[in-house]
Amino acid sequence: MPVGRRQRVATVGVAAVATALGLAACSSSSSSTAASSSSSAASSASSSSSAKLSGTLNGSGSTFQTTFQETAISSFKSVQPNMTVNYGSGGSGKGRTDLSSGVVNYAGSDSTIPAAEEANFKGKTVLYFPVIIGPITLSYNLSGLSKPLQLSAPVIAGIFQGKITNWNNSAIAADNPGVTLPSTPITIVVRSDSSGTTQNFSLFLMTATPSTWTLGSSSTIKWPSTARAGNGNGGVASAIKSTPGAIGYVDYSDAKASGLTFASIKNKDGNYVAPSSASASAAADGVTISPTLTFHAVWGTGAQAYPITYQSWVLVYETQPNANDAAMLKAYIGYLLGPMQQMSGSLGYAPLPSSLDQMATAQLSKIAS
């Protein structure tokens, strides 16, 4: 064969192979199904409208909500098969940014819009829909302890400000009578991204021990220079898991799923309470809820309340650009407030108190186009 023809055959061959691969991938992935059969419980319940909607909803934000959102998205497929919902985690800060720049339809945020970010929303009303409650754990990587660790707020403040640097410090020992602590140096792990978990964790420290905590409460904190940072709750959990002597703050759902050990924290009543779905519900019972459905669950009262319980909202604009978006949001958020609440416990969250759930469901009607 003359050389020119050989070259042409080669080019055509390569192109054909590439096209074939592409077609194969496209056609087979269009018929793929989500294989998470464990969520069949939620999919069987039918909620509000049975009207078939179609379209795409995009959301982003809180990594605390990630497991909740991802599970809801795959089981929502059986309720509304023609709707596609996407949730990209990136931290509460990113969610609020994406919502204000119009990139997503809804945001997941563990904190309310701070004053500094209000201007980004250009005066449009944002509705808050609480969807989950859960504990922030102090997860640690320390072997050879006879009992799980116990910590109080001033000690935590000392650790995270770099003042307490070794595990066998007397302040930690005071919280843990009878336990021999190793002399390992402490590595603190924090969030590198703008995070609602950070904001609630620092709010807890600011409220519980204002005299010892000097770094304020915000989505990003100027941590001591020795702190190691991770991206998202998942990144912090990974870092703790792979670093002996590390301690960091991770939401309960991610900590449990990663197999981390966490400490019991001294609450307002003076009891050391371990994080769990029940202790988070106990903390949520006593909160004061504002008319806009915002509240703070940290440092609540209650003998069995877990002191670092926090919450997360879905934020949407009250006025949607078109009727289909409004209907899709109502359907999806209604699903989160309805059947998904029964699944919260198994995912590592606490379901909303029923009064709060009812108020939130009633607020759904405000979404209009």
DSSP string, 186-251: PEEEEESS--HHHHHHHHHHHHH-TTT--S--SSS----TT-EEESHHHHHHHHHHHSTTEEEEEE
Contact criterion met (CB below 8 Å) for 169 and 247: no
**Of 40, 56, 290, 355, which lies in the binding site for another protein, with binding defined by CB under 8 A?**
56
User: Where does this chain touch another protein (CB under 8 A) — which range of 84-92, 148-156, 269-277, 299-307?
Assistant: 84-92
Interaction between residue 82 and another protein (CB under 8 A): no
Residue type, 255: A
114-143 footprint of another protein as x/- string (CB under 8 A): ---x--x-----------------------
Q: Which stretch binds another protein (CB under 8 A): 204-212, 255-263, 282-290, 310-318?
A: 255-263
Assign 17 to helix, strand or coil. Answer: helix
What's the number of CA atoms in the CB half-sphere (13 Å) around residue 294?
Answer: 11
CB 55, min distance to another protein, A? 11
Q: Does 16 participate in binding another protein (rule CB under 8 A)?
A: no
Residue 38: CA atoms inside 13 Å, Cβ hemisphere, count? 7
CB-nearer residue toward another protein: 239 or 283:
239
Q: Show contacts with another protein in window 201-230 (CB under 8 A).
A: 216, 218-223, 225-230
> How deeply is 84 buried, as exposed, middle or buried, from its count of CB atoms within 10 A (0-12, 13-18, 19+)?
middle
The interface with another protein within residues 262-321 (CB under 8 A) comprises none
Hey, which residues between 20 and 39 contact another protein (CB under 8 A)?
21-22, 25-26, 28-30, 32-36
Of 100-108, 169-177, 330-338, 360-368, which part binds another protein (CB under 8 A)? 100-108
Distance CA 268, CA 22 (A): 60
Measured from the CB atom, the residue of 142 and 179 that comes closer to another protein is 142
Task: Please tell me the count of residues contacting another protein according to CB under 8 A.
Answer: 81
Residue from 237, 314, 328, 333 that binds another protein (CB under 8 A)?
Answer: 237
Q: Candidates 143-151, 241-249, 296-304, 336-344 — which segment interacts with another protein by CB under 8 A?
A: 241-249
Given the complex with another protein, which of 58 and 169 has the nearer CB atom?
A: 58
- Answer yes or no whether residue 339 interacts with another protein by CB under 8 A: no
| Integer-rounded Cα radius of gyration of the chain | 24
Name residue 212's amino acid: T
CA dist., res. 337 & res. 322, Å (int)? 23
